[in-house]
Structures are given as structure tokens and as C-alpha cells.
Structure 1
């Protein structure tokens, strides 16, 4: 892995780039706040609606059912109309979905509103990440991605603090009513922000092929709409655990449907897109069992109070945020892949101790959670840069949004896998250790060996994506820039 040259200084960034970053960061913070609420109140919802633990876990998975569609459609809007309008539409969608969760009257209504949250969150991830990266200089884009993603865990910290104050005194529904707050942000975004510079220079006003022209062309519009409905129904049946005996067939149908969309979206680069999806899927399987089931583990297995759980999640979220910022700095100094693999390997030192610790060791648990999240989830702050490098600018928002959010279905599988393993071995902590440790190694190997890009170069795919440029050509380009 070649070490890149030193990145430019923050002092040289113009005011517009700072403003673009802050707006996207704030939107992503509110996204993290809204998305994580269901994991905090899972035991309260379970008791209120009379659900089993497995049924309650599917409510975490519900938002992942729609993420692929949000990443695809809102990403296509971002590629065609600009990053800013896609970001605004995404924030409106997840805010409305979160507020509606507070009005849910049973399992299926809450499941449906969580699906709406997932649609918006997926679009927010792709549009915010591409907006910031394409507004900042290329040699600072690991920092742009890492600092941006630090907003998500800070949002989860605020949610945990709100949980500790609101739920004991009011009810779990009041947490979701706060979802209306982000709507005010969209007014600021609409009036104050410029469009992303790189999108304006390379895509705006041109008639070249973009994701929207591919997916929504007259010949493909209706078949793709039917495919989207079929995939959505199949995923709802799978992740609400209502598939009956057809689970394997529905899974195969979903895989084939996503492959068909990838072929349309990425053209000859579709094998690269599928490899990215598999990588992100494994990444969610190591990180999301912890993020989604940690509150349940702390309350059910260790017997901690709501206040203690809130404190634990605060330290875990702060570790996640600090790790995201550190990942961005290391990514620009060492290279994206080198920094990513380093963080994953170091995280393995904290996974086993964190979940082997018995109840009562409060301070040590907080320290371990901080360190574990800083090096495991925090290092994922490099994911937008890593994924985005595999797509050209004209396809980047939808390419990043679709591949990331299809892979994010690993987050829907994660709580189900965690509870299934826990029921088999009798320990949720051990189940979380097995998933986090094993899948971390898989992702470290895939990223370290550069498998998606190697696959693209082996197939001689020349899409203009930075990751697929041969090392020799990269050196020539860098010399010409200097």
C-alpha cells in the first residue's frame, strides 16, 4: 500500500467548504439520533406491545429493509439534480418517519415507520458523504469522511442522554417526537448552501449517462419499479420473520434482484459493486450486533439501570466519534486501506475483554467500550472514501448509496444473528464476541488485500474510478499535478 503525500492544511479551506461540512455534519448527527432510538427503547416497546425478544429485534432490522431503496433512489436524485436537494429530501424523510414512530399503535405500524426512517437515512449517508467529499480537496477527503461520520455517534450519545432523562419521566414515545427537530435544519440547508463543487464541474447541466438516466429510462422504468416492489416485499417477509418455509427462496430472489440492479447501475463494473456490497455486509455484521444489542445486553444480562446504560452508551458513542476523526487523519497520512486495516486489527484487543467483564466493573466497562468503538466502528469513518473511490463522479452518489445500503442489510441480519446465537449458547455477550471478532478479521483481509479493486483491474474495467486506476498510472498523475 503506497503512502500518499501530505494533505493540505485546514487553514487553507475557504469559508464555503467549512459551511458545507458543518451543515452535512449536523444533518448526519440528527440522523444518528433518530436511527438509534429504537435500540434504546427496545425493552420498553417489547413490554408495551407484548412482543418476544426476537420480535422486538426485528424492529431494529426494519429500517434496513428499505435502506437499499433509499440509497438507490435518493442517490440517483443526487447524481441527476445535485447533492444538496438529495440531502434535504433525505432529512425530511427520516425526520417524518421518526416522529411517526411515536404515534405507532402496534408492531406493524412501528415496523412501517421504521422502514421510512431507513429510506431517509440511506439517502442521507450517500448524499452527505458525496456532498462533503466533493466540496473538499481530494487529498483531504479521508478527513472529510471521518469527521463527517463522527456526527453519527455524537447523535447516538445525545439520544442516550435523552433516553436517560425522558423515558423514566415520560415514555418511550416522547423520544420519537423529537424527530421533528431536524426538519428545521432543511430550511437552513436550502437557503444557505452551495452545491458540491466537483458535481457542478463534472456533471451539472451535461447530458452524459447518470444513474437516473439508467434506472428510470422509459424501457426500464416499469420493470425496475416492479423489481423494487418484489424486493421490498421479500425483505419485509424475511426480516419480520414471516417468510414461513420460503426463507431460502426469498433470500435467493433478493440476491438476484440486487445483482440485476447492480448490472444496470455499474455496467461492466458490476462485479466490483457486488464485491463492495459483500465487504460492507461483513462490516455491518461485526459492528451492528454491538450497536443494536448493547443496550439489551447491559440491561438484561448485566442488570444495569437506565441511567447506567445511558452512561455506557455515551462512552461508547464518544469512542466512536473520536475514532472516526482519528481514522480520517490516519487515512490521509497512511492511505485509506492501511488505516482501515490497522484500526480493525487493534479493535480485536478490546472485543473479548469488553464482553467477558462481569457486572459491577462499571468504570472499566466504559473504558473498554470507548476503546472498542473507537477502533472498530470509528474506523468505519473511512468507508465513504473507500467505497466512493470505486465509482466515477457521475455515478458516485447512487453507487455509494446503493452498494453501502445493500451491504447494510448485514445490520438487519446482525440483531437476529446475535439473538439466535445467544439462544443457542445461552449468552448474549459471547454471541456478540463471536460475531464481532470473526467478521472483523474477514473485513480486514478483504480491505487489506484490496480485493474489490484487484477484481476490477483484473477484468480491465476502465470506469474512471480512482480505486481502479493502476498504481503506475496513479504515480504518473501525481507527478503531473506537481
Structure 2
């Protein structure tokens, strides 16, 4: 196996001060993103009481951020491709900070739904811009570690949100928890003054106005049509996920799918079937992971009878497993190759899914251990997902390609709790429903990635992509640095 040329960093300690600074800034931004995004799940019962909502209606507020994520991934990704990764990252932080702060001023269901949608736009932009910024600032031999370490920030943000809930809400109320979400604006101001632009984007794209996604999406002849298309898509998604579709849900879903295909064709050109395959992959990934993330607290409280403190401890260990697994995934990805490490993690995770939901009440410590291991291998392995997706797009399309395809697929996160609840109603057991979804969709994603279906589609269509995701980083195909 060939090695990197002398002088190219092979470990975190060998990175330059600027590369470390870029990583920590993006990591902190993604931590705060996770903090702001998860707040709504912690105070749903308080919001339901305050606005006189039933819990089913209140739960649709969680989906509000998913409704807008595709738009954030598309627009902020296009900005990142045209103007640079750093300004897109700053705009994303401002969006989810302002959206979170506005949630504290909400006066009813629809105002809160809109403000949560703003959070979703920022979250989508932060995912795409931070991942591309770190990858394009680090050597290619370390890019799985770049994304794996970066995504470890999200679960830590959710743990900090849970701790903040315990400190703030009992004394000050749920609104103050959202006011705290404004804090990341200070980070955005710091980033604007102190960070350099990503080296690879600067070398390959900066100054070229005719090759980026923004030049395709926002040209004068397409601007109006794309604006109208975005408005139609947003309206259809809001009606579906706020449960106001009036009996025409399937028609609205068809409109949404057609709209996403139209944007994919414009965005990726001949690569659009590859982009659609990636969207399906991400959608399935959310369907195996988000039923557990969204319904695990309900399962622990209703099926096993654990109190709030025990549930909080269990979720903390699950979050720590997610963070540790993301870091481990990055190390394995750089050693084994992105695809091999991803598939290995998914199949190992199946060994923990059955014990978690077969464990009877009263085994709280063993539950912590199993949840840690399950989330480390199933959710944690998704730390490789940005690298896997980015490998299919050239630099000029990478931010929007990654941001749009990932965040369209992320709509699986909005479908997941509904699917879990529906299967549970049929089977009469929530644990069995979560196990069924997790196992079926985990195997599906492992097969898609294992057989490299998006890249196979690209080869069949004879369109090139970036470096193959199954190539270990330290090979002769991967010698250059950004």
C-alpha cells in the first residue's frame, strides 16, 4: 500500500495550528447545532400545556425542522459552493441561533412551527458547510476522521441540552431554554474574524463564477421558477407534516418527490441519478436510527416503567456512545476505507439491537452498557456519512450536493417516529416495532453501501465522481492534499 508523501499530516497532532483551529471551530458550531435542535423534544409537554395542544399535535413541532432542512441544504450549500465554506457556515449558525431564540417568543402553534423551520434551515446548512469546511481543510488521508470527529459534537450538544433543561426549566420556564439558544451568535462573530477559508475550495473554485451550484440554481432565467418550486415544496411539506393535508397526502408526497427530482437534475446535471440514490440511502439510514432516537424515551417510560431520572441517565449513555462511535468510525474509515468501515459498523450494531429491547426492567446498568454499544456502532458509524456522500461530488458541487442530498434524505427522520408508532400499533409492542425497523433498515443501508449502488449507477451512466468511497485513504489514488 502506498503511503502519503513526507510532510503530510497523518494524525491530529501533526496538523497545523490553522487546521486544528478550523476543526475546533466547526466542532463547536455543530455542538451548538445539536443543542438547539434537540431543545423542542425536551419541552414538548410544557409547550402542549401552555398552548393547549394535545401531544400528537405538539409532536409535529419536532417535524417542523425536518420540513425545512432540504431548503437549508440547497440554499446554504449553493452559497458555500459560490462564496466559500466559511460564510455558509456563519450564516447557518446565525439561522439556527435566531430561530431558536424566536421560539422563546412564540405565541402559538404556527409561530412556533415557523421558528422551528428556521432552526431546520440553519441545521441543514451547518451540517453541509461544517463537514465540507473541515474535509477541505484537512489532508485527504484524514478526512474520515475529520467527519467522524466532527459529528461527535452533535450528541454532546444534546447531552448539554438535557442538562440545561434540568437547570433552567424548573425555575424559569421553557421559554428561557430557547433564549439560551441565541448564544451561538457569538461563535459566528468569532468565526467571521478569525478563520481562513477551506484550502481546497480556495484552490479549485474561488473566483470562478460559472461552475458552482449557485450559477445553475440562481441564474435570471431560472430564479423565478426555482423560487416558485421551492414555495410549492415548502407548502406541501408543511401540510403533510402538520397533519393538515385534508386527505390528499399521497398527492402532496408525489408533488414533493417530483420537486426534489427537478432540483436534483439542475443541481447535479448528469449526476442526478447518483444524487437520488444517495437520498434514498440517507432516507433509509434515518429510518433505522430515528425511530430509536425519537421513541426510546417513550419506550423506557411506558414499557419498562423507568422514571425521568433513569431515562435521562440512559439517554446520556446513549449520547456518549454516539459520540465515541463517531470518533472510532473516523479512525476505522481512514484505515479500512469509508465503505468497508461503514458496513462493518452496521452489521456489528445488529448484535446489540435485540438485547436492548429484550432486556427486562430492573437492569438499568446493563441497559446503559447496551445502549452505549448500540449507538456507538449504529448511530456513531454515521460519522462516515458526510465523507461517503462527498466522495460522489466534485469540489464545485460538494457543499450543495452534500447538503441537499443529505437533508432531503433526512426527511426519513420525520417519517421515522410515525412509522415506529404505526408498527407498534399493529404489533402491540413498541420494543418489537423498534427492533423490526432497526434491523430491516440497517441491513438495507448496509447492502446499498456494501454494493456501492450510487457509484455503480454513476459508472453505468459513465459519469465520473470524486474518489471512490471504498478506497482506503493512504493509497496512490489519494496522495494530494488540499
Q: Does 1:29 align with 2:34?
A: no
How far is 1:159 from its partner?
Answer: 1.1
Paired residue total: 475
SS at structure 2 position matched to 1:205: coil
Query: Equivalent residue for 1:121?
Result: 123
Query: Equivalent residue for 1:136?
Result: 138
Deviations 1:67-86 (A, max 9, x none): 00000000000000100010
Query: Equivalent residue for 1:172?
Result: 174
Q: 2-side partners of 1:419 and 1:325: how far apart? A: 32
Q: 1-side partners of 2:303 and 2:40: how far apart? A: 19
Q: Choose from 419, 422, 425 the match for 1:420.
A: 422
Q: 1-side partners of 2:172 and 2:306: how far apart? A: 20
Contact kept, 8 Å, 2:283 with 2:412, in 1: the verdict is yes
Please say which of residues 366-375 and 96-105 is displaced more in the overlay: 96-105
SS at structure 2 position matched to 1:313: helix
Query: Equivalent residue for 2:195?
Result: 193
Q: 1-side partners of 2:3 and 2:297: how far apart? A: 42
Contact kept, 8 Å, 1:157 with 1:314, in 2: the verdict is yes
How far is 1:290 from its partner?
Answer: 1.5
Deviations 1:85-124 (A, max 9, x none): 1000000100111122222232222211111110000000
Q: Choose from 57, 65, 81 the match for 1:79.
A: 81
How far is 1:437 from its partner?
Answer: 1.5
Contact kept, 8 Å, 2:338 with 2:469, in 1: the verdict is no
1:48-447 pair list within 5 angstroms: 48-447=50-449
Contact kept, 8 Å, 1:83 with 1:131, in 2: the verdict is yes
Question: Could you say what the CA RMSD is over the residues aligned between the two structures, in angstroms?
Answer: 2.0
Scaled by the length of structure 2, what TM-score is found?
A: 0.94
- For structure 1, the 5+ residue unaligned runs are none
Q: 1-side partners of 2:338 and 2:162: how far apart? A: 31
Q: 2-side partners of 1:434 and 1:48: how far apart? A: 36
How far is 1:416 from its partner?
Answer: 1.7
Contact kept, 8 Å, 2:140 with 2:478, in 1: the verdict is no
Q: 1-side partners of 2:236 and 2:299: how far apart? A: 30
Q: 1-side partners of 2:390 and 2:28: how far apart? A: 21
How far is 1:479 from its partner?
Answer: 8.2
How far is 1:352 from its partner?
Answer: 2.0
How far is 1:478 from its partner?
Answer: 5.2
Q: 1-side partners of 2:59 and 2:362: how far apart? A: 26
Deviations 1:253-278 (A, max 9, x none): 10010001000000000000000000
Contact kept, 8 Å, 1:54 with 1:419, in 2: the verdict is no
Query: Equivalent residue for 2:457?
Result: 455
Scaled by the length of structure 1, what TM-score is found?
A: 0.94
Deviations 1:223-265 (A, max 9, x none): 0000000000000011111112111111111001000100000
Q: 1-side partners of 2:325 and 2:119: how far apart? A: 26
How far is 1:349 from its partner?
Answer: 1.2
How far is 1:372 from its partner?
Answer: 0.9
